[in-house]
Amino acid sequence: MAGHRLDASTVALWRLNETSGSNCADAAPGARDLTATGATITDGLFGKCRLYRHGQSDKCERAATDDALGAVFASAEFSWESWIYRPTSADGTLFEFGSAGTTQFRVKVANAASGHSGAFAVDSRGHAGGGWTRYGPTVPTNAWVHLAVTFEASTDNKADVRLTIDCAGGTTVNVDYWRIDSYPPAPAGPHYLKVGEDFRSSTLDGLIDDTRISDVHRGDICADMDECYLPSPEVISYLNRMHGGVR
């Protein structure tokens, strides 16, 4: 079984399958490697992955990344995808790209205060407020799931945003669509990029594996990702030690 494929439209691809060290290599030509802080190596879906603990500021980040990635997130069409495993119902951030004053693009599991506890969510906003948020289906726990956000240009110069959760052995694919009036704004640099945490130190509770960013709207996501995987016995044992049991 393989992860996301590397093709001409792939802007960044973090396999997160290193067996040692803090470097998280980018398999794409841009070589936007990340540095892990606290996010430990454990068994994942495609070999190794990174474990994040809610409230511990675990992350893989690139403190100063190039403006070209910001242009991708401000474009008419792009896609973000990742495989994750949630052992608990805790909220937290999966991915964030922004600058000191603006979150250009963030993907998260929503908290209870939002009124959408546990929902798959995407937003673009200033750190002091404003912007927009869209909430999708609830992210399952105790199973590997493939999450995807795709932006597709529409004929009226707006964007169709699609949030997809693929799970349940290919029998359930939850999809939500929205129309938004503008694409994520391109903030002034320098930019930062974080996997597993955002500017507020809101950390995911669980595992993040293969993560890909593309400069196209990928209409093949649902067709390609049609299975849900239970963790290996080694992962269950590890999560039992870290979280007091897989719930």
What's residue 239's pLDDT? 42
**Model confidence, pTM:** 0.82
204 — pLDDT class (breaks 50, 70, 90): confident
Place of tokens 């289906």: 137
- Distance between CA atoms of residues 149 and 160, nearest Å: 10
What's residue 52's pLDDT? 92
How far, CA to CA in Å, does 70 sit from each of 144, 161, 190? 29, 18, 10
Among the residues of the chain, which ranges form H helices?
67-73, 221-224, 233-243
> Which of the two residues, 234 and 203, has the higher pLDDT score?
203
pLDDT per position as a tens digit, 44-71: 988 999 999 888 889 999 887 666 777 7
Please list the residues that pair with 121 across neighbouring strands.
Answer: 108, 135
3-state helix, strand, coil in the chain (%, to 5): 10, 45, 45
Residue 177 has pLDDT above 60, yes or no: no
Please provide the average confidence, as pLDDT, over all residues in the chain: 77
Residue 40 has pLDDT above 80, yes or no: yes
21 — pLDDT class (breaks 50, 70, 90): very high
